[in-house]
Structure 1
Amino acid sequence: MSERLRFRWISAAAPVMAAAGGAMSSLILIADDDRESVETLDAALRRDGLRTVVAEDGEQALDLHARLKPDLVLLAVALPGRDGWDVLGELRRRGDTPVVMIGAPDQPHHRLQALRIGADDHLVRPTAPVEVVARIQSILRRAAGGRTAKVLRVGPLEVQLENYMAAVMKAGERRRLDLTLTEFRILAHMARTPLRVFSRGEIMQACFDNQAVLERTIDSHVSHLRRKLEGADAAGLLTNVRGVGYRLEAEA
């Protein structure tokens, strides 16, 4: 690891002002001991106007998190000492700092495990830096908006979280959706991360309060929800990704 990068990481805790509007830029804690990957991601994040600080093991990650209060943690599963799962569990006990996990491509079950423990997203190596930055910026926007916003909007879809109402806006007309509670929960859950593909297991975990339900039950609820969207002239908004699950598109 170069001395230049070591020095910049150590000094990254100092306040840095973003060029646009003079506002403080978000601080990203990168917890990863893969030096080549870290240098690539570090450069990409800084180019996008973000501040970064790096931890090379689990203990250092937790220490930097406690001292610097980063806006998001980019966390590798494989870390020396306390591994990524241990660190993620501790971060969730501390609070709700957004966490994006990075795992190996030969461990497909890690994604579901990460989401169950409380990660906001899970990526596998190799991942294009531009995609990592886009995912991080999306989560940061969602986290900032979630503090005040009570309405989710995805294309023509509007989901009002406080009063459990949803509607489709078409040609200046607001078409309310008559949804069951389960249908609303599924729609709201997917609307928080549009374009992301949700497996049936993830939908079950998030929307059924740990109830034991069959996959075909999920399919039935999604099918009813899709028909109601189609009836409101939003056909194509909720799509099936064969062999994986379901996705909410940005446009109908």
Structure 2
Amino acid sequence: MPARILVAEDDRRQADLIRRYLERDGHETTVVHDGRAALDRARRCSPDLLVLDLMLPTIGGLDVCRTLRSEQDVPIIMVTARASEDDLLQGLRTGADDYLTKPYRPRELLARIQAVLRRTARAAPAEPQQYRVGGLVVDTVRHQVEVDGVPVRTTPAEFTLLVCLAAAPGRAFTRELLLERVGAFDREVTGRTIDMHVLNLRRKIEPTPTRPRYLLTVYGIGYKLAEPPDGEAGDAP
């Protein structure tokens, strides 16, 4: 699916290689080389996806990601030479949807981009619904989450994960199944990836994140969304 992609990469040779691969695949590609330019361009052109280098001049990639997450829902794939699990989790905690370590093959980045774009498209089902559990509302028509009437901003990966759980309240999902549903790639810390998305969601939707009311742990299995109280519909037209 062709998309408008913004690439923020300070290595000009690498950036040009990425641009040529993306354009060959049919994507409209814009390249910038520092964090300030990435923010300016993202705000002006609202890309369908951002490929974001962690180590950017003027404004670092984590700060770019954090700022954009407070302003818009653009999917973000973070790329970096830092390969530790702590670095990966920091990127996901900031709001990245996927994380790729250097050196990588352009075809691998292209596959990640295609997966994230498919995931974003699946976040709005063909038959939109509104799922409600107590004060939590997951609205696939408006692509919005609310808690007690207050909108909550989520990343595309977090929204897709929440829609998956909300469509079957009370059902326990394994981490592996959730990874499959959100389109994540296999990596050594896949389970931790889902855990980090759940942690981020709890910070956003739970009155007390350490004592979750909505997004529950099923020990030995994975996670589930709490069932609606008796007499309350789980979805509405």
Do the two structures share a fold, i.e. TM-score over 0.5?
yes
For structure 1, the 5+ residue unaligned runs are 1-17, 19-24, 152-158, 166-179, 226-252
Q: 1:196 aligns with which of 166, 178, 186?
A: 186
Whether the 8 Å contact between 1:200 and 1:218 is mirrored in structure 2 is no
Name the counterpart of 1:80.
Answer: 57
Name the counterpart of 1:184.
Answer: 173
Whether the 8 Å contact between 2:32 and 2:38 is mirrored in structure 1 is yes
Deviation at 1:96, TM superposition (A): 1.1
May I ask how many residue pairs the two structures share in their alignment? 176
Secondary structure of 1:123's counterpart equals: strand
Q: How does 1:1-252 map to 2 (within 5 A)?
A: 25-149=2-126, 161-164=165-168, 181=171, 183-184=172-173, 186=175, 189-190=178-179, 191-197=181-187, 198-207=189-198, 209=202, 210-211=209-210, 220-221=220-221
Name the counterpart of 1:154.
Answer: none
Distance 1:194 1:125, change over 3 A: closer
What amino acid is the match of 2:173? F
Provide, for residues 194-248 of structure 1, a one-character-per-residue CA deviation record: whole Å limited to 9, x for no partner: 5434544333333463549xxxx887225x99xxxxxxxxxxxxxxxxxxxxxxx
Whether the 8 Å contact between 2:7 and 2:31 is mirrored in structure 1 is yes
For structure 2, the 5+ residue unaligned runs are 129-162, 203-208, 212-216, 225-237
Distance 1:50 1:110, change over 3 A: same
Larger Rg computed on CA atoms: 1
What amino acid is the match of 1:76? D
Deviation at 1:116, TM superposition (A): 1.1
What CA RMSD, in Å, does the superposition of the two structures yield over aligned residues? Answer: 3.1
Distance 1:218 1:77, change over 3 A: farther
Distance 1:150 1:133 in 2: 29
Deviation at 1:74, TM superposition (A): 0.2
Give the alignment's TM-score, normalised by structure 1: 0.61
Distance 1:163 1:101, change over 3 A: closer
Distance 1:99 1:134 in 2: 14
What amino acid is the match of 1:69? S
What amino acid is the match of 1:164? A
Deviation at 1:39, TM superposition (A): 1.1
Higher RCO (CA < 8 A, seq sep 6+): 2
What amino acid is the match of 1:189? L
Indicate the percent of aligned positions where both proteins have the same amino acid: 34
Give the alignment's TM-score, normalised by structure 2: 0.64
Distance 1:107 1:185, change over 3 A: closer
Distance 1:109 1:194, change over 3 A: closer
